[in-house]
């Protein structure tokens, strides 16, 4: 690790001002010594570059799944002052509100004698892969409703229950959405894709709860040992990607308009209060709402299949929680002892609000927000809870997954999809994807250890482990 980097506490490190020119605040990241060898110099530089942005508060932050990204590193968090701060698409990502949700079932492993058959049925029911199209036929009015009201609109259309809305971050819809700032091209891409899984690292996974570390909180979350659960990971599909592309072009010009000096053009931004900044925020929020609607529709498809296949009730598959990974949001935080409204960018990071936050469902007020951290096909996923430590150290943020350590092209050269699938099957894990290349790109070996990443944030006190889940069957985009 660079000699300028100093350790400040267990699993906590600081990048001093001056690491790159123009840093307004230090950079801080969370990393165990076992994960130190996975740290890329480029990701460190990006974290330091974020610290040069106008109005950034306290420090730029990196989670233990940190790796090189566009503008911000993936696993990057930055909070910005309402008056002097900026908003940057590079701090959100192209897949706006890529997120994950966890659904429980009344089933156990013995209730599913044919896992390959279940995975094949789910693969048929949930459109997956590049260019996949929704079984829903949305009108422009439906799309506008989803851009404005997210999961709420999907539930209103018959996809799910009112309780689902209460178990989503932001109740499944961000305030401030402005569909008028979503381009015609973005809308055209979104119409056929709501209710589809997409490609890349998106997945639908059947899991079993194989270890509970905090029984009291697990009971509050509705999770029991041996239980079959479903995890869904996807985002705003082509609509969100197009929104990011469209507004990046505008903000690249805004940088010059407002005289903002950047160390990296990928950090294109505009003042939060500017017309350009407000337009991007409105379009980004609308895209986030679309993503919540997307996951809501997939949830409904999965529930209907389980109801038919296993003769259970629809209501016996409740949503534990749904969290966003790529989003910028207005939140209240304590800054130097003063309660302040700030814009928090989380790029490949999860909100991890601690106990007492009014944004949480009533039943979680005492234990903190459910935090869902997926593994990588062959590795465990985890259910955690937000902490007071996260509120103090990271603006209520934690990791979002394992974090890549190998590129997709390199992964495909290392082993074939058939080889990866055979190795997973030997571990009792069934995998299905549109093609073998998609499996090779997402091999467990190309990611950091999910267990080590989660243990790092647990030991740092920015979230705490509640339960571990083992994969049984995976659909990869």
375 is in an annotated binding site: yes
The dihedral built from the CA positions of residue 335, 338, 342 and 348, taken in this order, carries a sign that is positive
pLDDT, position 251: 98
Three-state SS letters, the chain: CCCCCEEEECCEEEECCCCCCCCCCCEEEECCHHHHHHCCHHHHHHHHHHCCCCCECCCEEEEEEEECCCCCCEEEEEEEECCCCEECHHHCCCCCCCEEEEEEEEEEHHHCCCHHHHHHHHHHHCCCCCCCCCCCCCCHHHHHHHHHHHHHHHHHCCCCCHHHHHCEHHHHCCCCCCHHHCCHHHHHHHCCCCCCCCCCCCEEEEEEEEEECCHHHHHHHCCCCCEEEEEEEECCHHHHHHHHHHHHHHHHHHHHHCCCCCCCHHHCCEECCCHHHHHHHHHHHHHHHHHHHHHHHHHHHHHHHHHHHHCCCHHHCCEEEEEECEEEEEEEEEECCEEEEEEEEEECCEECCCCCCCCCCHHHCCCCCEEEECCCCCCCEEEEECCHHHHHHCCCEECCCCCECCCHHHHHHHCCHHHHHHHHHHCCCEEECCCHHHHHHCCHHHECCHHHHHHHHHHHCCCEEEEEEEEEEEEEC
362 is in an annotated binding site: no
**In Å, how far from its chain's centre is CA 101?**
9
pLDDT, position 99: 98
CB 459 within 8 A of CB 11: yes
Domain ranges, residue 374: 6-82+98-405+447-476
Among 282, 298, 317, smallest CA distance to 203 is for 298
pLDDT tens per residue, range 74-107: 999 999 999 999 999 999 999 999 999 999 999 9
CATH of the domain at 256: 3.90.1860.10
Cα separation, 293 vs 300, whole angstroms: 11
Q: Is 400 a catalytic residue?
A: yes
416 inside domain? no
233 is in an annotated binding site: yes
Count how many domains the chain has.
Answer: 1
433 inside domain? no
29 is in an annotated binding site: no
The two tokens of residue 176 are 């401030």
List of the chain residues with pLDDT < 50: none
91 is in an annotated binding site: no
345 is in an annotated binding site: no
381 is in an annotated binding site: yes
pLDDT, position 320: 98
Cα separation, 237 vs 197, whole angstroms: 8
Given 153, 247, 300, 400, the catalytic residue? 400
Cα separation, 252 vs 230, whole angstroms: 40
396 inside domain? yes
Cα separation, 325 vs 346, whole angstroms: 6
pLDDT, position 409: 83
**In Å, how far from its chain's centre is CA 451?**
17
Determine phi and psi for 228, rounding to 5 degrees.
Answer: -85, 130
425 inside domain? no
pLDDT tens per residue, range 414-429: 899 999 999 999 999 9
Cα separation, 293 vs 290, whole angstroms: 5
32 inside domain? yes
Burial degree of 175 (CB within 10 A; 0-12, 13-18, 19+): exposed
Cα separation, 475 vs 232, whole angstroms: 10
440 inside domain? no
Determine phi and psi for 343, rounding to 5 degrees.
Answer: -100, 110
Average pLDDT, the chain: 96
């Amino acid at each position: 690790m660079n000699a300028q980097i100093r350790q400040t506490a267990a699993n906590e490190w600081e990048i001093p001002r001056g690491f790159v020119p123009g840093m307004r605040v230090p950079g801080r990241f969370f990393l165990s010594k076992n994960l130190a060898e996975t740290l890329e110099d480029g990701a460190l530089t990006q974290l330091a570059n974020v610290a040069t942005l106008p109005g950034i508060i306290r420090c730029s932050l990196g989670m233990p799944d940190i790796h090189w990204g566009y503008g911000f590193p993936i696993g990057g968090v930055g909070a910005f002052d309402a008056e002097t701060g900026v908003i940057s698409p590079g701090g959100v990502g192209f897949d706006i509100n890529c997120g994950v949700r966890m659904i429980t079932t009344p089933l156990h492993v013995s209730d599913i004698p044919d896992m390959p058959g279940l995975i094949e049925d789910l693969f048929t029911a949930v459109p997956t892969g590049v260019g996949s199209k929704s079984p829903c036929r949305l009108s422009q009015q439906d799309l506008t409703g989803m851009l404005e009201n997210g999961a709420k609109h999907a539930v209103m259309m018959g996809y799910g229950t009112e309780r689902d809305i209460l178990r989503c971050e932001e109740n499944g819809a961000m305030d401030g959405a402005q569909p008028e700032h979503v381009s015609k091209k973005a809308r055209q891409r979104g119409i056929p894709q709501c209710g589809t899984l997409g490609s890349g690292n998106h997945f639908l996974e059947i899991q079993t709860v194989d270890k509970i570390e905090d029984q009291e909180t697990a009971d509050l979350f509705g999770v029991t040992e041996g239980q079959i659960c479903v995890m869904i990971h996807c985002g705003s599909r082509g609509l969100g990607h197009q929104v990011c592309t469209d507004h990046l072009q505008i903000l690249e010009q805004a940088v010059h308009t407002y005289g903002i000096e950047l160390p990296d053009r990928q950090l294109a931004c505009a003042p939060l209060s500017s017309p350009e900044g407000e337009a991007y925020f409105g379009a980004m929020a609308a895209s986030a709402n679309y993503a919540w609607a997307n996951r809501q529709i997939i949830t409904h498809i999965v529930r209907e299949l389980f109801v038919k296949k296993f003769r259970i009730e629809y209501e016996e598959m409740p949503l534990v929680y749904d969290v966003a990974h790529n989003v910028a949001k207005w939140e209240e935080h304590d800054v130097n002892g003063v309660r302040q409204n700030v814009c928090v960018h989380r790029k490949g990071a999860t909100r991890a609000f601690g106990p007492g936050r009014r944004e949480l469902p009533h039943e979680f007020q005492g234990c903190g927000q459910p935090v869902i951290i997926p593994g990588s096909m062959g590795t465990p996923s985890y259910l955690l809870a937000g902490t007071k430590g996260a509120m103090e150290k990271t603006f209520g943020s934690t990791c979002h997954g394992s974090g890549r350590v190998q590129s997709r092209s390199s992964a495909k050269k290392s082993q074939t999809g058939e080889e990866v699938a055979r190795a997973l099957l030997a571990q009792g894990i069934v995998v299905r994807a549109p093609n073998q290349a998609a499996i090779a790109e997402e091999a467990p070996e190309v990611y950091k250890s999910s267990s080590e990443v989660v243990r790092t944030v647990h030991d740092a006190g920015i979230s705490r482990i509640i339960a571990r889940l083992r994969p049984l069957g995976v659909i990869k985009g």
